[in-house]
Amino acid sequence: MLTIAVSKGRIYEDALPLLEEAGIVPIDDPKKSRKLILQTSREDVRLVIIRATDVPTFVEYGAADMGIAGKDVLLEHGAENLYEPLDLGIAGCRLMTAAPVGAPPISGRIRVATKYVKTAQSYFADLGIQAEIIKLYGSMELAPLVSLADCIVDLVDTGNTLKANGLEARDLITHITSRLVVNKASMKMKHRDIQPLLDQFEVTLQQRNNS
Ligand code: ATP
Ligand code: PRP
């Protein structure tokens, strides 16, 4: 049995066509079902539905053989105990700093609100900026509006959330896409099952790139 960890929401939506191309069609729809383990059209493959930030943990400990996780989550979690064989190119966005429109450039001693604590710490340390990082779990855009922080580090896609809250994107930290991650022991022990899946994903991604 192969267990694949996926989060509900945008990653699931984007991953579904990729999984389907590999002949993996979930029997239940996670939007309608409360089940956390979804059987699929393939008897030897099941999906576990978890929070996006928990995917590396499940895969690292072997609770799932493979998973799909955003690069943002992998950077923050640390991916040294996982294989990251494929960039799936889905759920694309940018990890950026952002501040109120017209506020002075980000420098000196600053307070930064983010859920990406380690990534932000290392980013500002590399720039020699003294940043006090305030950990939040969501709605980061609110922090500068209520003087909790001078700026934020968060994901930006359309920029609509920033705009709606009077903020502007400042510096790009990195581009983000979702990656396939594989448990190291599973890669060895279940190689015969995992490798064909990786090959199929790769074919689909190449076809997408060519069309
Ligand atoms: P959790 O439930 O663990 O708090 P979350 O609410 O951030 O996670 P999603 O919003 O579904 O979960 O985001 C999952 C992943 O999708 C992120 O880790 C990131 O890689 C990507 N992502 C997040 N926001 C966007 C966006 N606006 N546009 C494109 N991709 C995004
Ligand atoms: C993400 C991110 C930003 C927003 C950016 O939030 O944290 O708030 O998307 O997208 P945009 O540039 O297209 O507006 P999400 O929608 O996942 O909400 P959440 O963080 O509250 O889960």
In ligand 1, which atom is closest to the CA atom of 161?
27
d(CA 116, CA 123): 10
pLDDT at residue number 202: 97
Residue ID of nearest Cα to ligand 1 atom 26: 157
Question: How far away, in angstroms, is 10 Cα from ligand 1 center?
Answer: 7
Question: How far away, in angstroms, is 121 Cα from ligand 2 center?
Answer: 21
**Ligand 1 binding pocket, CB closer than 6 Å:** 7, 9-11, 51-53, 70, 72-73, 91, 93, 155, 157, 176, 178
Residue 156's region, left for phi above 0, alpha for psi from -120 to 50, else beta, is beta
Read off the amino acid at residue 183.
N
pLDDT at residue number 108: 86
CATH class assigned to 93-175: alpha beta
Give the architecture (CATH level 2) of 2-91+177-210. Answer: 3-Layer(aba) Sandwich (3.40)
d(CA 180, CA 199): 12
**Total-model pTM:** 0.96
For residue range 55-69, list pLDDT tens digits in order.
Answer: 999 999 999 999 999
Q: Do domains 2-91+177-210 and 93-175 have the same CATH topology?
A: yes
d(CA 31, CA 86): 26
- Mean pLDDT per 10-residue segment, the chain (211 residues): 96 96 94 94 97 98 98 96 97 98 92 98 97 98 98 98 98 98 98 97 94 85
The ligand minimizing its distance to the Cα of 50 is 1
In ligand 2, which atom is closest to the CA atom of 155?
2
**Of residues 46, 42, 57, 35, the one with CA closest to residue 4:** 46
pLDDT at residue number 181: 98
Q: Per-domain residue ranges for the chain?
A: 2-91+177-210, 93-175
Residue ID of nearest Cα to ligand 1 atom 30: 91
Question: How far away, in angstroms, is 156 Cα from ligand 2 center?
Answer: 7
Residue ID of nearest Cα to ligand 1 atom 12: 52
